[in-house]
């Protein structure tokens, strides 16, 4: 089964966690009389997942609780397979920032990836990124310090040249 139309709408590990919990709630409700599964999907799932999940469930050849449970368990497995990129930033990202980051990351790494976002206010105008064992820190303070060291080296070399020739 194809789950991409659903998981591509899950951008962060937090949203994935919400989806896991919602799937568990929905599966439990499948076997209870009078439970409104559509309502549970709307109230429990991340908003961006509601429509594609409902469409996927409508396309199932059989609508029995067992078939729906099997589909949702498959979705859980696919969510577990999503790769994670850790991103630590100095500010609380807005929805717009998350959308831009997601679009950029997925353009280069594919749709089967989620961001683990965290905030470190000690980062000055930068970010820490960790992905598949690789780590990179981009920090404005470190960049400024590096530039200042380079400039100091140039000044020292210039002063040495002046004192040698003078």
10-57 pLDDT, tens digit per residue, is 999 999 999 999 999 999 999 998 889 999 999 999 999 999 999 999
Measured over the CA atoms of residue 101, residue 102, residue 104 and residue 106, the dihedral's sign is positive
Percent of the chain with pLDDT over 90: 68
Whose CA is closest to 116, among 142, 141, 82, 76? 82
Domain carrying residue 92: 83-142
Residue located via tokens 């194809």: 2
Quick check: is 147 in a domain? no
Quick check: is 105 in a domain? yes
Total domains present in the chain:
2
Instruction: Kindly report which listed range (6-10, 112-116, 148-152) carries the lowest average pLDDT score.
Output: 148-152
Quick check: is 161 in a domain? no
Q: Are residues 72 and 90 in the same domain?
A: no
Q: Which ranges constitute the DSSP H helices of the chain? A: 4-7, 13-30, 37-44, 47-58, 65-81, 95-109, 140-165
Mean pLDDT across the chain: 89
Going from the C-alpha of 81 to that of each of 13, 111, 112, 142, the distances in angstroms are 12, 12, 8, 35
Quick check: is 103 in a domain? yes
Quick check: is 71 in a domain? yes
Q: Rounded distance, CA 160 to CA 162, Å?
A: 5
């Amino acid at each position: 089964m194809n789950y991409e139309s659903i998981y591509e709408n899950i951008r962060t590990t937090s949203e994935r966690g919400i989806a896991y919990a919602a799937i568990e709630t929905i599966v439990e409700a499948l076997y209870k009389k009078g439970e409104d599964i559509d309502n549970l999907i709307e109230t429990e799932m991340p908003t961006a997942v509601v429509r594609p999940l409902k469409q996927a469930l409508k396309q199932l050849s059989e609508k029995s609780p067992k078939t729906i449970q099997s589909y949702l368990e498959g979705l859980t497995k696919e969510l577990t397979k999503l790769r994670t990129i850790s991103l630590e930033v100095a500010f609380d990202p807005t929805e717009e920032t998350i959308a831009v980051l997601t679009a950029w990351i997925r353009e280069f790494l594919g749709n089967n990836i989620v961001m683990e976002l965290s905030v470190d206010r000690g980062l000055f105008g930068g970010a820490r990124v960790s992905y598949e064992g690789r780590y990179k820190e981009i920090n404005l303070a470190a960049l400024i310090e590096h530039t200042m060291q380079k400039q100091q080296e140039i000044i020292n070399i210039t002063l040495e040249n002046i004192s040698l020739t003078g």
